[in-house]
Amino acid sequence: MDFSYTEVQQMLQDSVQKFVQKSYDFDTRNKIIGSETGYSADNWQLFAELGWLAVPFSEEDGGLGGSAVDLMVIMEEFGKANLVEPYTATAVLGGSLVANLATGEQKETLLEGVIGGELQIAPALAEPNGRYNPASVSTTATADGDQIILNGTKIAVENGPNADTLLVSARESGEIRDVEGISVFAVEAGSPGVKIRKYRTVDGKQAAEVTLDHVSVAASNRLGDAGAALPGIESALNRSIVAVSAEAVGSLEVLLQKTVEYSKTRKQFGTAIGTFQALQHRMADMFIQCQLARSTVIMAAMSLDSDDSSDEKAKAVAAAKSRVGKAIKSVGQEAIQIHGGIAMTEELDVGHLFKRVTALDLAYGDGDYHTQRFAAL
Amino acid sequence: MNADFTAEELAFQEEVREFLQNEFPADLKAKVEASVRLDKDDMVRWQKILFKKGWAAPTWPVEYGGTGWSHTKTHIFATELGLYGAPEPIPFGMKMVAPVIMAYGSEEQKQRFLPDILESNVWWCQGYSEPNAGSDLASLKTAAVREGDEYVVNGSKTWNTLGQYADWIFCLVRTDNTVKKQEGISFLLINMKTPGITIKPIVLLDGFPEVNEVFFDNVRVPAENLIGEENKGWTYAKVLLTHERTNIAGVPRGKRRLKALKRIAGETEDGFGASMLENASFKQRLAEIEIELQALEYSELRTLAALSVGKAPGPESSILKIVGTELAQKMDEMFVELAGYNCLPFVPEQFESGFDGDAIGPGDSASAALTYFNNRKLSIFGGSNEIQRNIITKAVLGL
């Protein structure tokens, strides 16, 4: 039993911390997210140079062979800084979809693009009536000679406005929630029939609603075998859930820390509000929530890195997302409450973190959804 | 990062399992499974079996007859006991007074008291709380006045757990009224048979006199029974309180109870044509409890890993206490919910040793409410959960 970081993980953590300290203060972060693309292309290049974009991929695929725990280390630091670059969309979920499903040449080009920092991916999995179930796919893929015709609507497509390539799940056969019959297609963002309705999410990030109206792609754009994509999607989602959960844990820790600091300096009734037991116990509870959430993320990351069966892995991941969801609500809301009115403004980073973790709670399924998934497994 | 045991630890785990299967008496196992309370003889018998094996005192150093196990091995031992349903040693002697005697007692006191604790020849109880000194323990008033080579003790102690079985009591007593309240307290060992001691049972909500009030009326205690120095008792007691408490989170017991909840839920109809296990609301809450148990387990493992590399037990034990007790209480609620009307019969004698009447209700369903009532104590004793939050506030948050 060993819960300490390896030397490499320690170095990874140091390197992210150094970057954040040097070039990611609150004002800089706000400028970046307020820019047209909502992320910094320079930072992205730097991430490539530092090897961060290669961490999620096996050495065979040209990556650094990073584990889920490695990913957890990076994401927690990103969460502390409320970093806005689309790391999860492109390098974790997008990249893992390619790594899990694609074969041969296609994999090589796409992953080279991701690792080199030249390619932005937008995974397009969710649909208007599918909630968080990746098997709930009604977008259709119909063969037409050598081509495949895609029709349907995808929602909450993270990184959609900046993507070069969309990874679209579509059904080639079967009924709406059938396990079989789903494929993932790489679709160029500019393809005829692809309509990208851009928007900003509540936490200021870039997303889109994507409609596919008779979009024609070559059969070679299908990642892997026809109709067999679901296990690869689920495995990519498991990794992404660990990533966003770790990000949330980092953000929650900062919310707790800022709340405690604020309570030491804010004076009312002639004394620091942190001396009031009514608030102290609530902050103690925030600490407990942070610790429990962290424990489940560690559990899930270790499970993904182990020989556990795919059901065991899915169950550990579902437990983590469920538990983190609970912590997000309580720690996030208490941070706002204890700060009082000032946290209702854009002026303080606390509100920005609160909005971010609220979005993270929904990412790839909220707590309730994953509790149900846990119970069903 | 990994949560794996080493080959040696795995072999040890196997050894403990085999030992439990072969040596934990079948009649005791039957009692545990039927929610029947183990009496003093049961507990002493089991403790002596552990002593024979050399496993009576997992947390003691070898020089005093302990096992000298690593933190991980101690954890494995407690886990296997909990999963099997075998009780842990009664804590008062083994885990509470013995470490204080080892750390602050004289050589003579060590020789006199420790072997009998190890062999379970002597039953100890705790004399800390008083009617007016609960969470604010340091305000205790029971006085010990030195007269020659004796202390004369007057006052009363309460919430004295299983004192009806006890041969000895370890007490915090006031030996100086003129200084700060923490600085006038001494740690005194008192034979329960000393003239002037009376014990009055307190029946709790579940109908069992689990605790007592103990009265001291001019009780004359030899001064040689004082531990360490006079007026240093608070320091000793504090060390004891932060002394590593294994299995404080109650994860193994929680796992065993979760299994029972699932089994009973599968056998219980929800009134709408499905079992409670299939009932959407119950199923969701059960899953939440299972997830919380995992969060607790991994938090405990993280603490254990930190201890194993020599870090001092910190405020983590407060988290484990709060979360562990609150989770156990949630499970109690679910047992009550599953039992439904069957938790209403108040027949506590049905769950005492030697009951041979007709049981009311299916299985041990009539114990559900009793356990629910009794376990309200969990968030009160051992430093109430509010006191634990104070500890976190101070030690972690720096407020």
CB of A322 within 8 Å of a chain B CB? The answer is yes
> Do B251 and B381 belong to one domain?
yes
Is B322 close to A372, i.e. CB distance below 8 A?
Answer: no
> In B, what residues contact A, Cβ < 8 A?
1-5, 72, 283-284, 286-288, 290-292, 294-299, 301-302, 304-306, 308-309, 316, 319, 322-323, 386, 389-390, 392-393, 396-399
Please give the positions of B annotated as active site. 244
Q: Based on the domain organization, do B267 and B354 belong to the same domain?
A: yes
| Residue B382, domain member (yes or no) | yes
Asked if A275 lies within 8 A of B302 by C-beta distance, the reply is: no
Residue B278 lies in a domain: yes
| B265 and B322 fall within a common domain | yes
Q: Mean pLDDT, 10 residues at a time, over chain B (399 residues)?
A: 93 98 97 94 96 94 94 93 92 92 97 97 96 94 98 97 96 97 97 98 95 98 98 90 69 96 97 96 97 97 88 82 97 97 92 87 91 96 92 93
- pLDDT higher than threshold 70 for residue A78: yes
Residues of B in contact with A264 (CB under 8 A): 398-399
Q: Are strands B185-191 and B226-227 parallel, antiparallel or unpaired?
A: antiparallel
Same structural domain for residues B74 and B136? Answer: no
State the average pLDDT over residues A248-267.
98
Say if the Cβ atoms of B292 and A1 lie within 8 Å: no
Is B261 within the bounds of a domain? yes
A377 interface with B at CB cutoff 8 Å: no
Domain boundaries in chain A? 7-116, 121-228, 231-376
The alpha carbon of residue A76 is apart from the nearest alpha carbon of chain B, in Å, by 16
Contacts of B393 in chain A (CB under 8 A): 280-281, 283-284
Helix/strand/coil for B218: strand
Q: Which tokens sit at A201?
A: 């999410």
pLDDT of residue B243: 59
Number of domains, chain B: 3
- The confidence score (pLDDT) of residue A271 equals 97
CATH of A7-116, one of 2.30.33.40, 3.40.50.1110, 1.10.540.10, 3.40.50.2300: 1.10.540.10
> A375 contacts in B (CB within 8 Å)?
283-284, 286-287
- Measure B108 CA to nearest chain A CA, in Å: 40
Residue A250: the pLDDT is 98
Q: What is the pLDDT of residues A168-177, one digit of tens each?
A: 999 999 999 9
CA-atom Rg of chain A in angstroms:
21
Quick one: pLDDT at residue A178? 96
**Are B297 and B327 found together in one domain?**
yes
Q: Does B264 lie in the same domain as B229?
A: no
* Structure letter (DSSP) for residue A363: T
Best mutation target, B71, B289, B294, B330, to test chain A (most A CBs within 10 A) = B294
On whether residue B260 sits in a domain, the answer given is: yes
The answer to whether position B2 is within a domain reads no
Whether the Cβ atoms of residue B74 and residue B246 lie closer than 8 Å to each other: yes
Confidence tier at A86 by pLDDT (50, 70, 90):
very high
Task: Residue A372: count other Cβ atoms within 10 Å of its Cβ.
Answer: 18
> Where among B214, B235, B256 does a domain terminate?
B235
Chain A nearest-CA residue for B302: A3
Mean pLDDT of chain A: 97
In this predicted structure, what is the pLDDT of residue B306? 87
Residue B95 lies in a domain: no
Residue A106 has pLDDT above 70, yes or no: yes
Strands (E), chain A: 121-124, 140-144, 147-158, 165-171, 182-188, 194-200, 206-218, 267-268, 271-272
Do B178 and B220 belong together in one domain?
yes
**pTM: predicted TM-score of the whole model, two decimal places:** 0.95
Please indicate, yes or no, whether residues B84 and B172 belong to a single structural domain of this protein. Answer: no
The C-alpha atoms of residue A11 and residue B193 are separated, in whole angstroms, by 64
CATH of domain A121-228: 2.40.110.10
A226 neighbors A55 (Cβ within 8 angstroms): no
Q: Is residue B103 part of a domain?
A: no
For the residues A228-256, what does the mean pLDDT come to?
98
A-chain residues near B72 (CB < 8 A): 1
Instruction: Please check whether residues B230 and B269 belong to one and the same domain.
Output: no
CA distance A375 to chain B (A): 5
Do B200 and B158 share a structural domain?
Answer: yes
Assess: ipTM above 0.90.
yes
pLDDT for B238: 83
Report pLDDT for B311.
79
Q: Are residues B217 and B266 in the same domain?
A: no
Q: Counting one residue from A and one from B, how many pairs have CB atoms under 8 Å apart?
A: 122
- Give the residue numbers spanning the domain of B57: 7-88
- B242 is a domain residue: no
CATH class of the structural domain A231-376: mainly alpha
User: What are the Cα distances from residue B55, in Å, to B52, B65, B66, B372?
Assistant: 8, 9, 7, 32
**Residue A323 at interface with chain B, using a CB cutoff of 8 Å:** yes
Query: Which of these three, B88, B111, B131, is where a domain ends?
Result: B88
- Report the gap between the CA of A290 and the closest CA in chain B (Å): 11
A36 in B contact zone (CB under 8 Å)? no
In degrees, rounded to 5, the angle at the alpha carbon of residue B243 between the alpha carbons of residues B242 and B245 is 100
CA distance B236 to B222: 20
One domain, residues B296 and B208: no
What's the one-letter identity of residue A335? A
C-alpha B296/C-alpha B300 separation (Å) is: 6
Question: Do the Cβ atoms of A260 and B399 come within 8 Å?
Answer: yes
| CATH code assigned at B345 | 1.20.140.10
Q: Nearest 5 degrees, angle CA B15-CA B325-CA A275? A: 130
User: pLDDT tens across B324-348, in order?
Assistant: 999 999 999 999 999 999 999 999 9
